[in-house]
Amino acid sequence: MPESSTTVQQISAEFMGTFVLVFFGCGTALMSGGNYVATALAFGLTVLVMAYAVGRVSGAHFNPAITLGAAVGGRIAWRQVPVYMGAQLVGALTAGLFLFTLMHGFPGFDATGNLAQNSFGDAGSGYAWWAAFLLEMLMTAVFIWVILAVTDVRNEHPALAPLAIGLTLTMLHFGSIAATGTSVNPARSIGVGVFAGVDAVAQLWLFILAPLLGGAIAGFTYALLFGRGAEDVPGSGLRFVRIQVAPAGMAGPGAAAPGVGAVPGYGAPDQLQEQWNQDTDEGQPPS
């Protein structure tokens, strides 16, 4: 069992991962002139790379909606939620500040409405606010269902989890850039939105509430839909949706013991999967 990461290490991992996500994802949208393929791949690849890099430290959330879904779903203690979200917001805002500064290297650049911010209605594509809300909520729920599934202790190939997560984020961008610019991440929206003018700031409410609601729905329903592979992390989840798992050694859908001689990442948990399935107080990171 690897040594648990400290809170400082988790803050560093979440800050760095969110910074890289926003800087390279939104930066690609700006530098490519809004090319859909390049932008979608940039967001997906940054998550994939950073999940492989620091997923063992923090679980590689990089997104307040993921952190909320993980807490509701019993994968992370509620006391860790403000720590994770704070690191994510600071990382995103730092990336937004860098992009705002660097883009002024182009003569005549104006950041107002032009910093890869998310938008709807008259300030964006014309997409109706209610449709934008439903779209962002649904996409975030799908995203977090996938994340909870590929990091489930029952998943026999956890080494492929970052790949699946990155490709899912790419897929979501392909399906929604034209409508909202694709958020599914309040930190991503806030990070550049606050530097993109009054209209962008006024629309942030949707890109905060819709992803958080989608994340909560995914966390709440995952075990109900697909069962639970491990007990809730102490201090997490919602008691009235708790599902009992089979005791160790018992056959059945709740059993999650790795095979004898299994290699981490292929039949046995790797460090990323263990970050998402800590089932004892000892498995919690020190404060």
7's tokens: 């809170």
- Among residues 99, 73, 26, 2, which one has the least CA distance to residue 220? 73
- Single-letter amino acid code for the residue at 229: G
102's tokens: 């660097």
Report the alpha-carbon distance of residue 84 to residue 7 in Å, rounded: 9
pLDDT, position 281: 45
Q: What is the mean pLDDT of each run of 10 residues along the chain (287 residues)?
A: 79 98 98 97 98 96 98 95 98 98 97 96 95 98 97 91 97 97 98 97 98 98 91 80 42 40 56 67 41
pLDDT, position 255: 38
pLDDT, position 115: 97
Q: Over the Cα atoms of the chain, what is R_g?
A: 19
134's tokens: 């439903």
pLDDT, position 156: 87
SS (H, E, C) 111-126: CCCCCCCCCCHHHCCC
Report the alpha-carbon distance of residue 2 to residue 76 in Å, rounded: 17
Question: pTM of the prediction?
Answer: 0.85
